Amino acid sequence: MTVIEKGLARLTLAPEAGGAVAGFTIAGREVMRPTPAGATDALDTASFPLVPFCNRIPNGRFAFAGREIVLPPNLGDHPHAIHGQGWRGVWTVERAEGDTAVLSYVHAADAWPWSYRAEQIFTVDETGFRVTLSVTNTSETAMPAGLGFHPYFPRRAGETLTAGNDGVWMIDADVLPTVRHAGPWEVDLAAGAVVEGRGLIDHCFTGWDQRAVLAASGAPDTVITASAESRWLHVYIPPGQDFYCVEPCASRPNPFGEGETGMTTLQPGESRSIWMDVRSA
C-alpha cells in the first residue's frame, strides 16, 4: 500500500491491485468504500481506473482500421471483455511523497494489439483528492482510446444521488446498451433520487454535467466532479449491497458500437487524459 495525506485527509493506494484507490478517509471517516484487509482484486477496492476503454465490448470483438480484434474475457465466466487492461495489471509507484503520488502502467501489445503507457497522478488536500488519468499510445500504429473511473461509495441511510443528465441507455441481460431513452427513467437523477429500495441499476447516463452529489442526512455531502470530456456517468446500484458506484467516463459501454461513443483515436506518441475530483463538502 502507498499512502499520501494532507491534514486529516488520508488517501491509500493499492498499485498492485490495478492501480486502485484502497481507501479515502477524512478524520477517520470513510468517504469511499474501504478495501477489506488482504484484498488483491480491484473489484474489492474503493476505486480503479478504466483504461483504454470503459465497460463492456460485446464478446470482446470489434473492428478498427480494417483489423478484426478479439479480446479474451477478463471477468470470470462473463463473456464480454470489460474495462480494459489497467485494472487487471500491477502499477508502478513512480513517486509518492507528501500530498502527491504518481503511478504508471505499461501495456505490451497482446490481444489488445497496441502498446501504451498509462499514468495516474493523485493529489490530496484537506477536503478531497483529484486523480488525473492519462494514456499514451506507444505503438507504431493508431490506437483507439477511452478512459474512465470506477469509484465505490458506502450506501448511507436515506442517501440521494443528484446528477444532471439528458437520458440513459437501456440494457439487455448482459448489461449491454440497447437503445437510448431521453429524459428521466426509473431514477430522476437530475432532480435527486433516493438510492435505497430499487432493483438493479447498471446503466450509463448521457449528457452528464460533470457534477454528482451524494447526500445523506446528518453527514457531509460527497461531491464528484470531472473533466469536460466525461460526458457519461455510469451508475451501478446493486440490490442488497452496502455500496454503489458513480463512475465518470469519457466513453460509453459498447465503445465500438454505433453512434457517438466517446472513443478517440491516438496516433503514435499521442496522449489523452481526464480527471476526477472526490470531495467531502
Whole-Å CA distances, 108 to 80, 135, 175: 21, 13, 29
pLDDT at position 107, please?
98
Q: What's the average model confidence in pLDDT over 4-28?
A: 97
In the predicted model, what is the mean pLDDT of residues 226-233? 97
Give the total number of structural domains in the chain. 1
pLDDT in tens, 103-151: 999 999 999 999 999 999 999 999 999 999 999 999 999 999 999 999 9
Q: What percent of the chain has pLDDT over 90?
A: 94
First to last CA, the chain: 27
pLDDT, tens only, 234-247: 999 999 999 999 99
% of the chain exceeding 70 in pLDDT: 100
Task: Give the Cα separation of 96 and 2 in Å (integer).
Answer: 7
Q: What is the CATH number of the domain that holds 71?
A: 2.70.98.10
Owning domain of residue 24: 2-280
- Cell numbers for 185: 427513467
The three three-digit cell numbers of residue 144, written as one number? 483507439
Per-residue pLDDT of 162-194, as tens digits, reads 999 999 999 999 999 999 999 998 879 999 999
Q: What is the mean pLDDT of the chain?
A: 96
Long-range contacts made by residues 75-78, C-beta under 8 angstroms, separation at least 24? none
Q: What is the pTM of this model?
A: 0.96
φ, ψ for residue 233 (rounded to 5)?
A: -125, 115
- How much is the average pLDDT of 69-90? 95
Which has the closest alpha carbon to 24: 8, 39, 44, 37? 8
